[in-house]
Amino acid sequence: MSQDKPAPRLAWTEVRDMIRARMAAGQYKSGDKLPRDADIAAELGCTRTTVHRAMNALASTGLVERVRKGGTHVKADPITRATLDIPITRLEVLAQGRAYTHRVILAKTVASPPEVMARFGIKAARLMLHLQALHLADQQPYIWENRWIDLETCPEVLGLDWTQNSANEWLVRHKAYSRVELRFGAVAAPHDIAPHMNVAQGAPLLHIERATWQGDDPITFVQSFAPQGYHICAQSQPV
């Protein structure tokens, strides 16, 4: 009888972990050039495709850098890369076992103000729906939002009843974006927002800005403000 080894098929995650282990062990050091995919494949006894996948995973977490013809290098200046999930505000509140309500403070058609145009990177003003709303959890202020919706991209929003629909929710369900940009920072509560949030003027608020596009068309830009105690969480990609 032939002593056929069961030919242990190598999973791409195993390959990834092997490479990672070699980096941790110092076999591949910061800035080093790694062997070609094909060579690693030959060494490990799997296909180049499998190595390719493992390498891509490492590249996507910022551990290595790949360039055609240049090969794969261990990144000399690594970055911390994480993935961030922001749910619909209503569901976020409900998940905490609290009651969700929201209140529309303002809904007005306007020309896009300069700061919104700047965020969208557009030069000509566009017609937008300007909304101001307050999200509440158990009747307590949860998030204040100041939103602009592009009326060219989303004409339907003019016919909606905002006391029933949260813009947050309607947009995310009906106008899937293909690109989003987020910004976080700490700010002192401005005089026009502090009373709505039930905090003193100058109190610390988390400032969240979100801009979304569908292709090259602006969808919406939101400035949100959340009080102390509100957290944004992120994790490394499970990969």
Partner DNA sequence: AAGTGGTCTAGACCACCTT
Partner DNA sequence: AGGTGGTCTAGACCACTTG
Q: For residues 55 and 64, is the Cβ–Cβ distance under 8 A?
A: yes
* CA–CA dist 14, 141 (Å, integer): 48
Q: How far is CA 104 from CA 142, 164, 228, in A?
A: 14, 10, 22
Q: Within positions 180 to 239, which residues make up the interface with a second copy, using CB under 8 A?
A: 180-188, 202-207, 210, 214, 226-236
Which tokens hold the place of 97? 């076992």
Q: For residues 134 and 103, is the Cβ–Cβ distance under 8 A?
A: yes
Q: For residues 61 and 100, is the Cβ–Cβ distance under 8 A?
A: no
Q: Which does 59 bind (CB under 5 to 8 A by kind): a second copy, DNA, none?
A: DNA
Task: Report the nearest approach of a second copy to the CB of residue 202 (Å).
Answer: 8
Task: Report the nearest approach of DNA to the CB of residue 199 (Å).
Answer: 43
Task: Report the nearest approach of a second copy to the CB of residue 50 (Å).
Answer: 14
Name the one range near a second copy by CB under 8 A: 99-107, 113-121, 139-147, 174-182. 174-182
Which DSSP state fits 33?
Answer: B
Q: Which does 49 bind (CB under 5 to 8 A by kind): a second copy, DNA, none?
A: DNA
Q: Is 176 in the site for a second copy (CB under 8 A)?
A: yes
The dihedral through the CA atoms of 47, 50, 55, 60 has a sign that is positive
Task: Report the nearest approach of a second copy to the CB of residue 4 (Å).
Answer: 29
Q: How far is CA 14 from CA 21, 51, 79, in A?
A: 10, 10, 23
The residue behind tokens 């911390």 is 80
**Quick one: 66 or 90, whose CB is closer to DNA?**
66
One of 84, 105, 110, 118 touching a second copy (CB under 8 A): 84
39 to 68: interface string for a second copy, x by CB under 8 A: -----------------------xx-----
Q: Within positions 88 to 117, which residues make up the interface with a second copy, using CB under 8 A?
A: 88, 91
Q: For residues 36 and 69, is the Cβ–Cβ distance under 8 A?
A: no
One of 172, 193, 194, 197 touching a second copy (CB under 8 A): 172
- What residue ranges bind DNA (CB under 7 A)? 9-14, 34, 36-38, 45-50, 52-53, 55-56, 59, 66-72
Which tokens hold the place of 75? 């990144």
**Quick one: 106 or 120, whose CB is closer to a second copy?**
120
Q: Terminal CA-to-CA distance of the chain, rounded, Å?
A: 41
One of 27, 83, 109, 163 touching a second copy (CB under 8 A): 83
* CA–CA dist 100, 138 (Å, integer): 6
Instruction: Provide the binding-site residues for a second copy, judged by CB under 8 A.
Output: 20, 23-24, 30, 62-63, 77-88, 91, 172-188, 202-207, 210, 214, 226-236
